[in-house]
Structure 1
């Protein structure tokens, strides 16, 4: 049993009623085609921050879901219909065939973003989607997902192949290096998480990953401490971080991902 399997974070109290209702609505809409509902992201990694974190959910369904079901699910879960207590809900629905393959693609049937601090979207076509977000989430689901209902996430969501996972991490670090649309603290902490995964083969919560990098690379300590302090604030109160230092750190993180990929033949 690996470390990810041994860790069993619990669903935060602030989310329990909400997630129970999400499960109820998934089952009501998808019926017997529903296979599994699991929490991933910060909830699964034990670092959910109320007022800052999104709640990330993966749903797996069997083939044959009626065509109207996914738009109906998106409507029933929209923040105006079911107020989200977190910064937002990011819910992804996969077909069981796609979820069960170690794919490097986005592969979703529905990608729903809704909540008080998220731009509303309900995508039913993964064409042109930035696949790396979904590859990383499926890896976390496989290794650490908290099953809220149905089949265990580890059994129905496949771990992406190493080459696909390294490709996703490269793309994620590039996305954060660009910086568009992302808070500076989140850019830095996601870079930490990518490097820690490359070094250890384990997903760590963002703040824990920052601590590991700060201990190993003291020159980045002040930036990482500032990023953690900012991350501990509500999202609208996030601090500005020195742009040049953020770029330097993410360039370093990108180089570490490249090295790990090359060493693994990925």
Structure 2
């Protein structure tokens, strides 16, 4: 069993001490029930942007945790009790029995959002949250998750079915089209990620997906390149405003690409 990252120097330098302490505190709370701690998101996909990216972590536990374990874990990991150097921590805890099978459900035991630039959230009820976030993250975890502790991601997290992934992408594009609570550049880059997945069947970091779309879609190239420049800025507070009509038009186009893929593969 891997107790520490196989190659800790490959993790972003700004996150190494933080992730080490996160694993230590998680193990202290969960004990023998802890199966794996896995980095997902931008760290897994090799495109962490310090000051801009969140740190996304999936925790898998086995067996019945003590009654206070999940609230205690949320308390132990909450910023600033554990100061988060990234824009935020998005940590999701699952039971190993749930993650062992493909699912289109949210299915978590704990969803914790915390950090200097992230609205706080502690949820113990998966019905409170749209499922698509978790379906996409579990797919990324299965394919590219980086083990911080425990068993390999592919052994403990099943790949969601293609049907559920396309359903999740539909919901993701709708969420970013609505725009509430999302930066304009992130809305565009998430749309690019969805299109790239439909075209290639694989997950790419947001910037790589955006570069691919900019290269192939002349109509949207100025907007996508502007979103990329904004994303390169040092922090979320410095993100640029993008033309609202252009963002809506792009996300409408992205939604159409997802719908075309779903119709071709799923029959509608």
**TM range, smaller chain:** over 0.9
Secondary structure, in 3 states, of the residue corresponding to 1:26?
Answer: helix
Compute the displacement of 1:121 (Å).
1.3
Report the counterpart of residue 158 of structure 1 in structure 2.
158
1:250-265 aligned at under 5 Å gives the runs 250-265=251-266
Compute the displacement of 1:128 (Å).
3.2
Compute the displacement of 1:97 (Å).
0.9
Give the distance between the partners of 1:213 and 1:152, measured in 2 at CA. 32
Compute the displacement of 1:215 (Å).
0.9
Report the counterpart of residue 243 of structure 2 in structure 1.
242
Report the counterpart of residue 93 of structure 1 in structure 2.
93
Per-residue displacement from partner, 1:203-241 (whole Å, max 9, x unpaired)? 001011011001111111100000000011110000000
1:15-164 aligned at under 5 Å gives the runs 15-164=15-164
Report the counterpart of residue 6 of structure 2 in structure 1.
none
Give the distance between the partners of 2:107 and 2:10, measured in 1 at CA. 28
Compute the displacement of 1:61 (Å).
0.2
Report the counterpart of residue 227 of structure 1 in structure 2.
227
Secondary structure, in 3 states, of the residue corresponding to 2:47?
Answer: coil
Per-residue displacement from partner, 1:152-193 (whole Å, max 9, x unpaired)? 011101110011000000000000000000000000000000
Compute the displacement of 1:10 (Å).
2.8
| Contact 1:10–1:46 (CA under 8 A) maintained in structure 2 | no
Aligned residues between the structures = 259
| Contact 1:54–1:90 (CA under 8 A) maintained in structure 2 | yes
Q: What 5-or-longer segments of structure 2 have no aligned partner? A: 1-8
Give the distance between the partners of 2:179 and 2:80, measured in 1 at CA. 30
Does residue 209 (structure 1) correspond to residue 219 (structure 2)? The answer is: no
Question: Superposition RMSD on alpha carbons, in Å?
Answer: 1.2
TM-score (ref. length: structure 1): 0.96
Give the distance between the partners of 1:116 and 1:163, measured in 2 at CA. 36
Q: Structure 1 residues 132 and 205 mapped into 2: Cα distance closer, same or farther (>3 Å)?
A: same
